[in-house]
């Protein structure tokens, strides 16, 4: 037992995705205390003793403090650890990523979100965390309903289409996309509800129970 870790810091860090101007963005927080006081970083914090069921509790607390409510989609990402990642000592960071529809955020929060592909230099090992989060998001987007969690409860087919293109980072055929999504049954039309404008009204849809559930809960 003598070579085991004594007093590691146990923390959570979160990558909070949202969409601004049709681009995939991250919500950062300015650090209130050293180290790296005043620097933009991923929102995070220490795990509390009473958060004894799961570190997702701590992640939710961190996210609520930042945006004021629970993210519609939250998933554990990866655990980083070691003596080098934090100057305060041997630490374990259990990281999470969350998807947050910009419609739920304050205007000011949305305005502060920064494009995932053009972030400022981040402290600690946060760049690695971001890289992994983007990788996971892209990967899951190709075979699940994940990107839909970046949209509000009701959305049009084209909005969904654009979100998928944005998160996957590639063009997707409109007709095929519509076909496949409807085929999978992960969304359903809201009867008689349309988004209106200077054009043909667009059918509104919502996620069904076949869509991926938050927290990767299965059944």
Partner DNA sequence: CTAGTTAATTGTAAATTTCAAATAACATTT
Partner DNA sequence: AAATGTTATTTGAAATTTACAATTAACTAG
One residue of 53, 111, 118, 175 binding DNA per CB under 7 A = 175
- Exposure class string for 108-139: b at 16+ Cβ within 10 A, else e: ebbebbeebeebeebebbbeebbebbbebbbe
Q: Which is nearer to DNA, 35 or 185 (CB)?
A: 185
For residue 111, the minimal CB distance to DNA (Å) is 23
One residue of 35, 68, 82, 201 binding DNA per CB under 7 A = 201
Fill in the per-residue mask, 139 to 168: x = in contact with a copy of itself (CB under 8 A), - = not in contact: ----x-------------------------
For residue 151, the minimal CB distance to DNA (Å) is 13
* 47 interacts with, out of DNA, a copy of itself, none, CB within 5 to 8 A per kind: a copy of itself
Please, which residues have CB within 8 angstroms of residue 55's CB and are 6 or more apart in sequence? 10, 12, 47, 76, 94, 96
Which of 105, 189, 99 lies closest to 144, judged by CA? 99
With CB under 7 A as the contact rule, which of the stretches 15-23, 36-44, 64-72, 189-197 interacts with DNA?
Answer: 189-197
Token pair for residue 60? 């939710």
Please, which residues have CB within 8 angstroms of residue 138's CB and are 6 or more apart in sequence? 167, 168, 169
Distance CA 35, CA 128 (A): 18
Q: How far apart are the first and last CA of the chain?
A: 40
Q: Does 176 bind DNA (CB under 7 A)?
A: yes
Which of 145, 140, 167, 132 lies closest to 22, judged by CA? 167
Q: Does 206 bind DNA (CB under 7 A)?
A: no
Which of 28, 1, 5, 22 lies closest to 129, judged by CA? 28
* 173 interacts with, out of DNA, a copy of itself, none, CB within 5 to 8 A per kind: DNA
Q: Does 68 bind a copy of itself (CB under 8 A)?
A: no
Q: Would you tell me which residues interact with a copy of itself (CB under 8 A)?
A: 1, 3-10, 46-55, 76, 78-84, 90, 92, 94, 135, 143, 218
Q: Would you tell me which residues interact with DNA (CB under 7 A)?
A: 156-159, 173-176, 178-180, 183, 194-203
């Amino acid at each position: 037992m003598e070579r085991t870790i004594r007093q590691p810091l146990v923390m959570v860090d979160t990558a909070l995705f949202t969409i601004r101007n049709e681009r995939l963005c991250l919500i950062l927080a300015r650090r209130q205390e050293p180290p790296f006081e005043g620097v933009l970083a991923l929102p995070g914090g220490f795990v509390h003793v009473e958060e004894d069921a799961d570190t997702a509790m701590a992640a939710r607390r961190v996210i609520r403090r930042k945006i004021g409510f629970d993210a519609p989609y939250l998933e554990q990402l990866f655990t980083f650890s070691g003596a080098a990642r934090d100057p305060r000592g041997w630490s374990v960071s259990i990281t999470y990523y969350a998807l947050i529809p910009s419609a739920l955020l304050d205007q000011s929060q949305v305005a502060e979100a920064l494009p995932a592909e053009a972030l400022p230099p981040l402290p600690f090992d946060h760049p690695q965390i971001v890289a992994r989060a983007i990788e996971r998001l892209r990967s899951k987007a190709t075979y699940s309903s994940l990107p839909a969690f970046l949209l509000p409860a009701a959305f049009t087919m084209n909005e969904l289409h654009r979100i998928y293109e944005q998160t996957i980072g590639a063009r997707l055929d409109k007709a095929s996309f519509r076909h496949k999504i409807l085929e999978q049954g992960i969304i359903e039309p809201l009867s008689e509800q349309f988004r209106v404008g200077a054009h043909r009204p667009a059918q509104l849809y919502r996620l069904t129970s076949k869509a991926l559930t938050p927290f990767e809960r299965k059944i």
